[in-house]
Structure 1
Amino acid sequence: MSTTQVSTEHISINPEIRFGKPCIKGTRIAVIDIVNCHLRMEESLETIAKDYDLSLASVHAAMAYYYDNREEIETRRVQGEAFARELASKNPSVRVFIK
């Protein structure tokens, strides 16, 4: 079980953590989680760092990783949302909140 290091010391990819999504190193917090908080929920990077008990540098690294790999991350996000919608359509008891 090896961890693939990416371009920054703050981000890691491990196929056994969050299905291989890029995460803040040493956590299960995915880059897309940080991106959603900042871009979709309009939280400041400082607030995200405080709320998730992360260094500000790691939050900035997550955003940098996103901008460097935007197409790949957005593709995975769209696929995840499609899966959630499909799951909800087949299971009425499942509620999906997608902004």
Structure 2
Amino acid sequence: MLATQTLDGLIIKDPQLHNGRPVVAGTGNTVRAIAIMYKQGYSPEEISGELPLNLVQVYAALTYYHLHTEEIEADILADSEESLIQTHSQNING
């Protein structure tokens, strides 16, 4: 599968980067990570201040998130469940 570009090339999906998760082009920042920060109450300006992104990149990621909410939320949930399983496994086996 080839990399795809969306939102005028600002967001890319490449199976070789972050397991195919959408990322801000030219950075290692996933849309998922930006969406998590946004859901935690960070404003776009605060996200831009915390990450090496400009506001255009942050808004592109948030636009992608709002257009693909189900996809991103499923990814966040799957990652949370995996983390929870690993934590409990370590507690049981540790």
TM-score by length of 2: 0.88
CA RMSD of aligned residues (A): 1.7
Answer whether contact 1:37 1:48 (CA < 8 A) is retained.
yes
Instruction: Please give the residue correspondences for 1:31-46 in structure 2 after superposition, counting only pairs within 5 Å.
Output: 31-40=31-40, 42-46=41-45
Answer whether contact 1:8 1:61 (CA < 8 A) is retained.
no
Q: Secondary structure at the match of 1:91?
A: helix
Matched, 1:90 2:72: no
Q: Which runs of 5+ in 1 are unaligned?
A: 94-99
Q: Which amino acid aligns with 1:46?
A: E
Sequence identity (%): 27
Q: State the Cα distance separating 1:17 from its structure 2 match.
A: 1.2
How many residues in Structure 1 have an aligned counterpart in Structure 2? 92
Higher helix residue share: 2
Displaced runs of 4+ in structure 1, greater than 3 A? none
**Which range is displaced more, 65-74 or 1-10?**
1-10
Q: Which runs of 5+ in 2 are unaligned?
A: none
Q: Distance in 1 between matches of 2:46 and 2:25?
A: 19
Q: Secondary structure at the match of 1:92?
A: helix
